[in-house]
Structure 1
Amino acid sequence: MEINKEVNPRFEDFLFDWNQKFQFLMGGYGSSKSYHVALKIILKLLSEKRKALVIREVYDTHKDSTFSLFTEIIEDLGLLDDSGRRKIAKGKIRPKESPYELRFSNGSRIIFKGMDKPAKLKSINNVSLIWLEECSEVKYEGFKELIGRLRHPTLKLHMILSTNPIGEDNWTYLHFFKDEENERFVLDDNDLYEQGTVIVGDTYYHHSTADDNLFLPESYIEQLDELKEYDPDLHRVARLGRYGVNGIRVLPQFEVKPHKLVMEAINKMEKPLLKNGLDFGFVESYNAFVRMAIDHERKYLYIFDQYYKRGLTDVELADDLDSYKKLIIKADSAEPKTIAYFRQRRFRVIGAKKGPGSRLQNTKKVKRFKKIICSDACPDVIRELKNLTFAKDKNGKIIEDEFNIDPHTFSAIWYGLDDYEVASLKGHGVTRKKVVT
C-alpha cells in the first residue's frame, strides 16, 4: 500500500526508525510530536500485524486527544472504514468507542487505556508496542509497570514516550537524563537541545519546538514568544521545550563552585564565622549535617562540607560523625533524646530554637544572603537547594514555608544559623581562623 503524506522534515527520519526499544520525544508546544508519533504507529501497524497500547494517566482524556488524533489522521489518509459491514475493508481502519479502540483489516489493533484504571491493564497480553503520551504526568511506578506489560513471543518490542518537559525533579528527567541523588547519568539534556536527535544505548532521543512545525500559523509562534515577558517558566517549556526549574526558586543566589576555590575564599576571609547544622532523619528521611562559613561583611554564605545518610541508629550516626565531635553543632531540638545521647558521646551539640513561624523566618534569613556559594563536594546540598522552589496553594499562590521537596540540608542550614542574623552581628566574638577540610 502506497501512502502519500506531507510531513514536517524534522520528523522524517523518526517516522521509519525502529532500531531502538525506547523512543523518547520531548519538546515545546505545537511541535507536532504527538501527530508524528500517531502517524508512525499507524504506518507500523499497517505493515505488520501488531497490538499497540496507547496510555495516558487518565483514561477519559483519550477522547479529545489521542483517539481524536488517530481518527483525524486515518480520515486524512483515506483509510477510514465507515461502511458498517462486519468485515473491515482491505487496507482500512475502523475506530470503535466504548472502549476506545482502532481495528485494522490485517488484524492489528490499537487499544487505549488509562493509568487511573490499572486493573484493566492486567488482562492485556501480546502487546509489542506502547505509546505513553504526556508521560511526565504518569507516575514512575506506572512506567515501570508498563515495561513489564511489553512482551511478545516473536515481534521486536518498542515503547514510545512523548512529553512537554517540566521540572528536573520529574521522573522522566531523572530516568532519561540525570539523577544526582543516585549518581546516575545517561545524557546531558543540553546536548539533546543542541543536536536534536541523540541515541544512547537502546534509547532514541528526539527534541522539537514550534519552529519544526511548518504548518503552524505565525500568530501561534508569536503567542509563545510573548510568554517570555510574563511567564518565563511556561516560555521555557512551551517555546523552548526544555527542562528546568518550575516555579519560584527559593534561593536564586545559590551557585556552585569547585571545592578548591571555595576553601581558598574561606581562608582569605578576615573574620570567618563558622557554623554547623544537623537535621536528624528517620527511616525514610535523611540525617543531614552541613558545615558553613559566613563572610559577614559581604553577606556571603559558603557551604563547604556535608554528610547525608538515612536509616541509621543514633549509635551509627554518632560513629559516622565522630570526627566532628569537637565542633559546636546546632541540631533539631525536636529530638531531645538524640541530642542527649550525642552529649553523652562528648559531642558539643546544642538544640536550635524552634517555635511557631520559625520555618518562615529561617527561610527569610537564608534568603537575605547576597550569595550562597556551595562547594561541588556537597552533592546533596546542590541537589536539594539548586532547584528548590516554593510550593503553591490551590489558587496558585506561593506558600513561603513549604517547598516542592523536603530539603533536609536546608533544615540543617537553618539550625546552623540559629544564633546568627544576616542584617547584624549580635555579640559574636569573631577571630581569624583557617578552615581545614
Structure 2
Amino acid sequence: MSKEISLQQTIGKGYADFWRFRGRYRVVKGGRGSKKSVTAAIYLIYNMMRFPLANTLVVRKTFNTHKDSTWAQLKWATHRLGVSHLWTFKKSPLEAVYKPTGQKILFRGLDDPMGITSITVDTGFLCWAWFEEAYQILNEDDFDKVDMSIRGELPQGYFKQLTLTFNPWNEKHWLKGRFFDVSSPNILALTTNYQCNEFLGDDDRALFEWMELNKPKRYRVEGKGEWGIAEGAVYENWREEDFDWRAIAKLPGYQAVFGLDFGYTNDPSALVCSLINKEARKLYIFDEHYERGMKNNDIAAMIKRKGYAKERIIADSSEPKSIDELYDFGIYRIEAAEKGPDSVRAGIDFLQQFEIIVHKFNCPNVSVELASYVWKQDKTGRFLREPIGEFNHALDGLRYSVERIRKGPTFSW
C-alpha cells in the first residue's frame, strides 16, 4: 500500500534542492532552528521505503550520543510520516529495521574504528550515510574511511550519497575547504537558518530578533548560520602571523617552552613549541606536531628530527610509562606536568593574560583548536567554568609547556 506525502506540508520550505539532489555529497550547515537534522531524518525514512534495497549508516564522533539524537530523530520521523507501525527501533544493538523488507539503519561512532570498517548488511546494499554534527570530526581521514565504505555497483535507479549536517563552526575546519570552497556537480553545499522554518512560533522568532539587536556576534552564527563561534571561546586574544621565530628568540625576555600531550588511536599526540615573554605578556607559537597512531619511538624520532631533543619538554603526567620510554629513547629532558585538581583552570587563567600569536603556516592545528575551544554550557545555555573535552590536544600541550613559567622558578639538587 503506497502512501503519499506533501513535501510542503511535512518539511516546509527551503529544502527542495536538498530533497532532489542525487550527487554523492550533500552538506548542510545551519543555525539553530533551521530544520537540517529533522529534514535529514525524514528524508532517510521516506526514501528507504521507496528504495527497498537501500540501507543507511548513521555516524557521529562518539557512539553513545546517537540514542538521544539521531536514533530519536529518526524514530520521530516515522511518526511524522505516519509509518511508525512499519518500523522497529532497537536499543541493543542500536538500529532501526523496516519490517516489510528487513532494511536497516545502522548507527556507528568514530570512537570504534573496527565498527566503522566492518559494516555489513543482510538485505540489499549500503547506499547512504548520514554524519550528524560533522564539525566534531576533526580528522578528515576519519570521514574518508567511511566515505570509502560506501562503494560498489548498485542496481539501476539507486545512488550512493553521504549527508553531512552540522552547526556552523570555525572557518578553519576541513569541512569548509572540502565542500564549501569548491564547485562540483557531486557536491550540494547549503547554508540554512531559522528563516526557512515556518513551523517556528512567534515567540521563537522574537528570540532571534532580540539576539540580532543585542548579541550580533551570536546572531551571525546561531541565527544566520555563518561560519564562526557564537560565544564562549576560551581564548579570544589570539591571531595568526607569519613571523621569524628565530629573530624573536634573540629578543630580551623570551624563552622557549615545549609541551607534549599523548594520544594514540582516537586522539593525536600533540607537541607545541612556543616563545614566551612573561613581562610583555606575549606568546609566539612557532611549531607543532599533530598526529595519531604514534608509538613512543615515533614521538622520540620526531622530536629529534625537529631538533628539540635537548629542550626541556613538559609532558602529560597521566602517562608516566610513556615519559620513561621517551627518556630511554634519548629525550633526556622530558618531565611530567604537575597536574592538580585545579590545573586546567589555572593554566587557562594564566594563558588568557597573554597575547597569543600563532605561526600562520607552521601551526594549522593549534589555530583550529584555538578557534574551536569553548566553555561548556548547562541546559539553560549558561556557560560553565569548565572547557569542553574536545579541540584541546595541542592546547593541553601548551598549558603543560608554560607550567614552570606560571609557577615560578623551581630548583633541584
What are structure 2's unaligned runs of at least 5 residues?
59-65, 90-95, 110-114
What do residues 186-224 of structure 1 show as CA deviations (whole Å, max 9, x unaligned)?
A: 134xx5xxxxxx753522222222223467565532223
> Residue type matched to 2:275 in 1?
A
- 1:373 and 2:365 matched: no
CA distance in 2, matches of 1:283, 1:394: 32
Give the 3-state SS of the residue equivalent to 1:154 in structure 2: coil
CA distance in 1, matches of 2:41, 2:290: 45
CA distance in 2, matches of 1:280, 1:116: 27
Instruction: Give the superposition deviation at 1:62.
Output: 5.0
- 1:273 and 2:254 matched: yes
CA distance in 2, matches of 1:230, 1:353: 42
Q: Find 1:241's aligned residue among 219, 225, 229.
A: 225
Q: Is the 8 A contact 1:277 1:330 kept in 2?
A: yes
1:287-306 counterparts in 2 under 5 A? 288-306=270-288
What do residues 359-405 of structure 1 show as CA deviations (whole Å, max 9, x unaligned)?
A: 43223221221x111112122322333322345689976354x6423
Aligned equivalent of 1:144 = 146
Q: Is the 8 A contact 2:75 2:84 kept in 1?
A: no
CA distance in 2, matches of 1:43, 1:410: 44
1:165/1:243 Cα in 2 relative to 1: closer, same or farther (>3 Å)? farther
1:114-129 counterparts in 2 under 5 A? 115=107, 124-127=122-125
1:85-100 counterparts in 2 under 5 A? 96-99=85-88
> Residue type matched to 1:311 in 2?
K
Q: Find 1:389's aligned residue among 367, 374, 378.
A: 374
1:338/1:41 Cα in 2 relative to 1: closer, same or farther (>3 Å)? closer
> Residue type matched to 1:96 in 2?
H
Q: Find 1:202's aligned residue among 172, 186, 190.
A: 186
1:168/1:398 Cα in 2 relative to 1: closer, same or farther (>3 Å)? same
- 1:224 and 2:211 matched: no
Aligned equivalent of 2:305 = 320
1:64/1:230 Cα in 2 relative to 1: closer, same or farther (>3 Å)? farther
Q: Is the 8 A contact 1:254 1:386 kept in 2?
A: no
Give the 3-state SS of the residue equivalent to 2:191 in structure 1: strand
CA distance in 2, matches of 1:381, 1:300: 16
CA distance in 1, matches of 2:162, 2:29: 11
- 1:187 and 2:174 matched: no
Same amino acid, percent of matched pairs: 16
CA distance in 2, matches of 1:138, 1:420: 32
What do residues 121-171 of structure 1 show as CA deviations (whole Å, max 9, x unaligned)?
A: 9555235864748565999789939954986332331436263426569xx
> Residue type matched to 1:362 in 2?
G
Q: Find 2:346's aligned residue among 350, 361, 376.
A: 361
CA distance in 2, matches of 1:123, 1:291: 47
1:219/1:70 Cα in 2 relative to 1: closer, same or farther (>3 Å)? same
Q: Is the 8 A contact 2:272 2:394 kept in 1?
A: yes
1:135/1:410 Cα in 2 relative to 1: closer, same or farther (>3 Å)? closer
Q: Find 1:156's aligned residue among 152, 155, 158.
A: 158
CA distance in 2, matches of 1:64, 1:21: 25
CA distance in 2, matches of 1:144, 1:221: 38
CA distance in 2, matches of 1:291, 1:256: 15
Give the 3-state SS of the residue equivalent to 1:306 in structure 2: strand
CA distance in 2, matches of 1:164, 1:404: 18
What do residues 214-236 of structure 1 show as CA deviations (whole Å, max 9, x unaligned)?
A: 67565532223335689889756
CA distance in 1, matches of 2:45, 2:194: 23
What do residues 256-301 of structure 1 show as CA deviations (whole Å, max 9, x unaligned)?
A: 11235x666x3795x2311221426465565544332234443121
Aligned equivalent of 1:256 = 240
CA distance in 1, matches of 2:44, 2:327: 64
Q: Is the 8 A contact 2:179 2:189 kept in 1?
A: no
Aligned equivalent of 2:92 = none
CA distance in 2, matches of 1:312, 1:158: 40
Paired residue total: 366
Q: Is the 8 A contact 1:277 1:291 kept in 2?
A: yes
Instruction: Give the superposition deviation at 1:34.
Output: 6.3
Instruction: Give the superposition deviation at 1:52.
Output: 5.0
Aligned equivalent of 2:77 = 66
Q: Is the 8 A contact 1:126 1:152 kept in 2?
A: no
Aligned equivalent of 2:315 = 332
1:127/1:246 Cα in 2 relative to 1: closer, same or farther (>3 Å)? farther
Which shows bigger deviation, 157-166 or 333-342? Answer: 333-342
> Residue type matched to 2:287 in 1?
D
> Residue type matched to 1:272 in 2?
G
Q: Is the 8 A contact 1:28 1:238 kept in 2?
A: yes
> Residue type matched to 1:329 in 2?
R
RMSD, matched Cα = 5.2
1:221/1:53 Cα in 2 relative to 1: closer, same or farther (>3 Å)? farther
Instruction: Give the superposition deviation at 1:239.
Output: 2.0
CA distance in 2, matches of 1:69, 1:211: 21
Give the 3-state SS of the residue equivalent to 2:312 in structure 1: strand
Q: Find 1:410's aligned residue among 395, 399, 410.
A: 395
TM-score normalized by the length of structure 1:
0.61
